[in-house]
Amino acid sequence: MATRSEAKPKEDDLARRFAAVRALSREIAAPLSDADATIQPYPDASPAKWHLAHTTWFFETFVLRDHGRGYRPRDERWSFLFNSYYDGEGERQPRARRGMLSRPSLEEILAYRSHVDAELAERLNDLPAAARELIELGLNHEQQHQELMLMDMLAAMSENPLKPAIWKAAREAADLAVEPAGRIRGKDGVIEIGHGGSFFAFDSEGPRHLALLHPHELADRLVTNGEWLRFMADGGYARSDLWLSDGWAWVKSNGIETPLYWQKDGGEWLRFGLDGLRTIGAVEPVCHISYYEADAFARWAGARLPTEAEWESAAAELDPLLGNQLDAAGPVGPTPAGGGPSPRQMFGDVWQWTQSAFLPYPGFKPAEGTVGEYNGKFMSGQFVLRGASCATPRGHSRASYRNFFYPHQRWQFAGLRLAWNV
């Protein structure tokens, strides 16, 4: 299955959550002009307008078209525009050229969303169980795109020399001193990881299976900007001995010297965020770094990145609803270490790179049909990140959640936690 949702959601709860998730996407895009919502800063990113339309196309195609009696797509041509990667749905607009879609307009796409929302709400009580499972998948899919939309909005605004802010900054917290990271002894021996509950999970989170942990320790917090500045001052980006071969080639060919969105003004380090240019907070978790950078920092610190099994075993009993995560549209950014309710910053602030490749678990089988393309086809060349970020909608993550990106990518809200062998 593309989803693991053994507990059938109540129809009124499903309708409520559908309305809430769909509304949050509109709120995120509310400050954008049509031009803001159309531009595509680079091939990995997508225009906000495309995110709004693609998530709507998902519900229209896999729920209304396939299960809604008598439903006809609003515009048959839009499947070519807003299909993402589903080969089973035919040809599509090349990803790198989504920013060329000046039409339909933002206004037309918002009207498309309203049309599909109304049609689905009207048919909800009559939909079969298979369609309701697809709605559950679609809601989680849209939450993923909400975070992607924030990532891509930030990338787009960063290309503007005016460095415009999408939202006014929240009240800045005092940059207090933070204690050196402590070490917590992790579990060792044979454990179980992976999704095994009755609630929703993506197919890549299962099956639940055995994993072997060797004696290890995990840091009790995330790595901070202040620690990263010391890495930079010690020549971290200029020392080939700290880097994987591919990482060193990436640093040299791209002139990488700092995390993404950092710049220096005189003697002061600034970072660009959705709230504009701000002074870097030394005790905030470092953000917008690649796997290569995370791995190099860990080696510089005499440590390593955790495996995803080590991370999951440490987070299994913790509440994923805690921590700095996305509750409503507005300022989005990491908070100082120790300043939030999530124990050891396991959930929220930044996704945490692991040393684990994104590969299928033992016994993994993708679902039949087009939705089976959701995760399985991407299990090659990428690394797993765990936890959640300040841009992850609250309730979307869990201990078994496997986020994944290519090792050079860093426009996502990603940081790191250190681990040590014992």
- Residues 211 and 345 placed together within one structural domain of the fold: yes
**Residue 373 clears pLDDT 70, i.e. is over it:** no
pLDDT number for residue 175? 60
> Does some domain include residue 45?
yes
- Residues 277 and 337 placed together within one structural domain of the fold: yes
- Using 50, 70 and 90 to split pLDDT, how confident is the model at 10? low
Strand 403-405, strand 383-386: pairing: antiparallel
> Does some domain include residue 168?
no
Q: What is the mean pLDDT of the chain?
A: 93
- Residues 246 and 369 placed together within one structural domain of the fold: yes
pLDDT number for residue 377? 84
Those residues with Cβ within 8 angstroms of residue 104's Cβ, 6 or more apart along the chain or in another chain: 53, 78, 81, 112
- Residues 338 and 408 placed together within one structural domain of the fold: yes
Q: Last residue of some domain: 158, 175, 208?
A: 158
Q: Last residue of some domain: 123, 158, 193?
A: 158
What's the rounded mean pLDDT across residues 86-102?
Answer: 94
> Does some domain include residue 367?
yes
pLDDT number for residue 169? 82
- Using 50, 70 and 90 to split pLDDT, how confident is the model at 8? very low
> Does some domain include residue 311?
yes
- Using 50, 70 and 90 to split pLDDT, how confident is the model at 173? low
pLDDT number for residue 1? 38
- Using 50, 70 and 90 to split pLDDT, how confident is the model at 90? very high
3-state secondary structure the chain: CCECCCCCCCHHHHHHHHHHHHHHHHHHHCCCCHHHHHCCCCCCCCCHHHHHHHHHHHHHHHHHHHHCCCCCCCCCCHHHHHCCCCHHHCCCCCHHHHHHCCCCCHHHHHHHHHHHHHHHHHHHHHCCHHHHHHHHHHHHHHHHHHHHHHHHHHHHHHCCCCCCCCCCCCCCCCCCCCCCCCEEECCCEEEEECCCCCCCCEHHHCCCEEEEECCEEEECCCCEHHHHHHHHHCCCCCCHHHCCHHHHHHHHHHCCCCCCCEEEECCEEEEEECCEEEECCCCCECCCCCHHHHHHHHHHCCCECCCHHHHHHHHCCCCCCCCCCECCCCCCCCCCCCCCCCHHHCCCCCEEEEEEECCCCCCCCCCCCHHHHCCHHHCCCCEEEECCCCCCECCCCCCCCCEEECCCCCCCCEECCCEEEC
What's the rounded mean pLDDT across residues 303-324?
Answer: 96
- Using 50, 70 and 90 to split pLDDT, how confident is the model at 375? confident
pLDDT exceeding 90 applies to what percent of the chain? 84
What's the rounded mean pLDDT across residues 195-205?
Answer: 90
Domain count, the chain: 2
**Residue 42 clears pLDDT 80, i.e. is over it:** yes
pLDDT number for residue 422? 95
- Residues 190 and 101 placed together within one structural domain of the fold: no
What CATH number does the domain containing 195 carry?
3.90.1580.10
> Does some domain include residue 393?
yes
pLDDT number for residue 339? 58
- Using 50, 70 and 90 to split pLDDT, how confident is the model at 37? very high
Which of 17-21, 347-351, 365-369 is the least confident region?
365-369
- Residues 312 and 263 placed together within one structural domain of the fold: yes
The token duo for 351 is 């996704």
**Residue 138 clears pLDDT 60, i.e. is over it:** yes
pLDDT number for residue 33? 97
**Residue 182 clears pLDDT 60, i.e. is over it:** yes
- Residues 272 and 335 placed together within one structural domain of the fold: yes
pLDDT number for residue 372? 65
What CATH number does the domain containing 117 carry?
1.20.120
Which of 135-144, 188-197, 337-346 is the least confident region?
337-346
What's the rounded mean pLDDT across residues 144-167?
Answer: 97
What's the rounded mean pLDDT across residues 66-71?
Answer: 93
> Does some domain include residue 120?
yes
> Domain containing 345: what range?
183-421
- Residues 127 and 189 placed together within one structural domain of the fold: no
> Does some domain include residue 44?
yes
- Residues 141 and 251 placed together within one structural domain of the fold: no
Q: Last residue of some domain: 158, 193, 221?
A: 158
- Residues 285 and 375 placed together within one structural domain of the fold: yes
What's the rounded mean pLDDT across residues 101-110?
Answer: 97
> Does some domain include residue 172?
no
What's the rounded mean pLDDT across residues 79-89?
Answer: 93
- Residues 20 and 153 placed together within one structural domain of the fold: yes
- Residues 293 and 362 placed together within one structural domain of the fold: yes
> How do residues 119-130 score in pLDDT, each as one tens digit?
999 999 999 999
- Using 50, 70 and 90 to split pLDDT, how confident is the model at 338? low
